[in-house]
Amino acid sequence: MNPNYPHPLIAREGWPYLAGIVLVSLSVEWGLGFFWSLPFWVLTLFVVQFFRDPPRWVPVGERFILSPADGRIVAIVPVSDPWLQRPAIKVSVFMNVFNVHSNRSPVNGKVRHIEYRPGLFVNADLDKASEANERNAMVLDTPYGSLTCVQVAGLIARRILCYVTPGSEVGAGERYGFIRFGSRVDVYLPPEVRIRVALGDVVKATTTIMAEWPEPEAEPS
């Protein structure tokens, strides 16, 4: 398990929403009775499940590239990385409203670059969301190579949160951001990595191994 897990099981990003809906639920129950407050308590449960942020086991392996998000693999395609300007394989994880929306670093590395780009809010399940939607990119350097991890806003997402800055050191599985209410995360990987997931797979942030860095070539004897 990640030894540095400083955040609560209900993400801080959700505390204002949870406090608000609990207050409304209690007010309706006190004023009108439990029957009338029931829909608001159901909504309270939805807010709790949306902002849950459970700890995760980190697989042991220096060459592992972990999934940065919970969700479903909706794309594994060869592309050009817009931030590193090189050929890449894009692996996209779509998060629906029932997934955990905390984003975690896929590798141990150093943040080289952070770039926010405004955009639209089309359905994050569509591939055009990678280029059209509001997004925030993080370029990570590791001893094995570099990759780009991009938070993409969704149809009803209106806030991308990123807590790291250029020069920050991050650990594999370390929490670095959050996206509210349906979204996706795109990972641009070097073509030489070994992909360990398939289209349609359901993945978990940190615990699912998305890819592996290649083994170094043996020195000629």
**Residue range 9-16: mean pLDDT, rounded:** 80
Average pLDDT, integer, range 171-179: 90
* Nearest Cα residue to 84 out of 199, 214, 188: 188
Q: How does pLDDT run across 104-117, given as a tens digit for each residue?
A: 999 999 999 999 98
Asked if residue 182 has pLDDT above 80, the reply is no
- Our answer to whether residue 27 is catalytic in this structure is no
Residue 78's pLDDT band, with cuts at 50, 70 and 90, is very high
In sequence order, which residues have a C-beta less than 8 Å from that of residue 57 and are 6 or more positions away?
Answer: 1, 206, 207
Residue 54's pLDDT is what?
Answer: 86
At 215, the pLDDT band (50, 70, 90 cuts) reads confident
Which strands make up the sheet holding 175-179, listed edge to edge?
A: 102-104, 175-179, 160-162
- Residue 176: the pLDDT is 92
Residue 5: the pLDDT is: 54
Tokens of 177: 């951001």
User: Per residue in 94-153, pLDDT tens?
Assistant: 988 888 888 999 999 999 999 998 866 555 555 665 666 788 999 999 999 999 999 988
Is it the case that residue 217 has pLDDT exceeding 80? Answer: no
User: Which whole number is the average pLDDT over 65-94?
Assistant: 95
Q: Is 152:82 a contact under the CB 8 Å cutoff?
A: no
pTM (two decimals): 0.84
Instruction: Spot the catalytic one: 25, 37, 183, 221.
Output: 183
Q: What's the mean pLDDT in 171-196?
A: 90
pLDDT of residue 16: 85
